[in-house]
Amino acid sequence: MDIVFSKVEHRYMEGTPFEKVAIKDFSITIPSGSFTAVIGHTGSGKSTFIQHINGLLRPFAGSVKVGKYEIKAGEKKVDLKELRKRVGLVFQYPEHQLFEETVEKDICFGPINFGLPKDKAIRRAKELLPLVGLKEDILSASPFQLSGGQMRRVAIAGVLAVQPSVLVLDEPAASLDPEGRDQMMKLFYDYHQTNDTTTVLVTHHMEDAAKYADQIIVLHNGSVEMVGGRELIFEQAARLNEIGLDLPKPVRFLQSIKEKFGLEEVPMHFDTKG
Ligand code: ADP
């Protein structure tokens, strides 16, 4: 499903002295089936942006279209159930989303809530476990007896169990060590490839953006600063640095050579998929 933002604005604490325009004049298209990374410094509007994709936040101006579902500013009645079924959101620290007595109930909560019979929901949960790196005997455990890593995997299985067409990931690998982060990113990338999902990843890690994304959106002070393919990280390195983003090591290295020798272009081949 294409996601189209047209001139979206969102404000917090409206009408108070603390009113804050978090995103403004925000127009962007995320093509169906793409893997899009959203990068930007803290406070640039990333969370505000992605929470509009499943209607958690509503636009103050403009409109948000996700496939055939459209949310326009000023609309009072919007049926969000169908939209929420289509858009899965994995927050930072998804393990905080767990609440049921057993892992099975937690994973099955979404699909059952959206009308899937219990036996089918359980079958789906069982199919998902190996994908998120868990074994079947975990189903009867309480989520709260598990390790942090296992809890996170259960929470992610719960989101995938709804079989969303759009998967929105807000720093899903936050606080994991590099190996754990790689495993987590690979899980989402494989899922994206297998299911043809439209994936939107918010990340601080430019390496992940360069490695997995086919579209990169850079936010700065609540606006879209630039949009492009992976090559944007190399071509726009100086500007990205200027707006406070940490460049991946190879790009930093090439940047330093460029500056040292006053070169316009650095001949390079950087295979980001490798
Ligand atoms: P990011 O995810 O890039 O860190 P956010 O979307 O969280 O950015 O924030 C964008 C701006 O909106 C920031 O200035 C932030 O302080 C402000 N903001 C975010 N959430 C709230 C809130 N609940 N109340 C008031 N201001 C907020």
pTM, two decimals, is 0.90
212 within a domain of the structure (yes/no): yes
pLDDT tens digit sequence for 207-247: 899 999 999 999 999 999 999 999 898 888 889 989 988 88
pLDDT tens digit sequence for 186-204: 999 999 999 999 999 999 8
270 within a domain of the structure (yes/no): no
In this structure, the residue with its CA closest to atom 22 of ligand 1 is 12
- Its domain, for residue 96, covers 3-261
Least Cα distance to 155 among 115, 118, 146 occurs for 146
The residue to mutate among 11, 20, 51, having the most atoms of ligand 1 within 8 angstroms of its beta carbon, is: 20
* Residue 146 CA to ligand 1 centre (angstroms): 32
Those residues whose C-beta lies under 8 Å from the C-beta of residue 150, and which sit 6 or more positions away, are: 134, 138
Could you give the CA distance from residue 117 to residue 98 in angstroms, rounded to a whole number?
21
* Residue 218 CA to ligand 1 centre (angstroms): 16
Look-up of token digits 């990169």: 216
Residues in contact with ligand 1 (CB, 6 Å cut-off) = 12-13, 20, 22, 40, 42-48
The better pLDDT of the pair 149, 253 is held by 149
* Residue 90 CA to ligand 1 centre (angstroms): 18
pLDDT tens digit sequence for 254-273: 777 777 777 766 555 555 44
In this structure, the residue with its CA closest to atom 15 of ligand 1 is 43
273 within a domain of the structure (yes/no): no
272 within a domain of the structure (yes/no): no
pLDDT tens digit sequence for 4-13: 999 999 999 9
| Mean pLDDT score across all residues of the chain | 90
pLDDT at 267: 52
244 within a domain of the structure (yes/no): yes
Helix, strand, or coil (residue 227): strand
The better pLDDT of the pair 43, 204 is held by 43
> Bridge partners of 63?
6, 72
CATH at residue 235:
3.40.50.300
pLDDT at 105: 97
pLDDT at 75: 87
Could you give the CA distance from residue 128 to residue 142 in angstroms, rounded to a whole number?
18
The residue to mutate among 47, 56, 225, 245, having the most atoms of ligand 1 within 8 angstroms of its beta carbon, is: 47
Least Cα distance to 246 among 214, 273, 207 occurs for 207
pLDDT tens digit sequence for 103-120: 999 999 999 999 999 999
92 within a domain of the structure (yes/no): yes
Assess contact for 101 and 49: CB atoms under 8 A.
Answer: no
268 within a domain of the structure (yes/no): no
Question: How many domains does the chain fold into?
Answer: 1
pLDDT at 93: 86
203 within a domain of the structure (yes/no): yes
Pure H helices in the chain = 46-51, 81-86, 103-113, 118-131, 148-160, 178-195, 206-212, 232-235, 237-242, 249-261
Q: Looking at the predicted complex, does its ipTM rise above 0.95? A: yes
The better pLDDT of the pair 255, 163 is held by 163
Residue 35 predicted with pLDDT over 60: yes
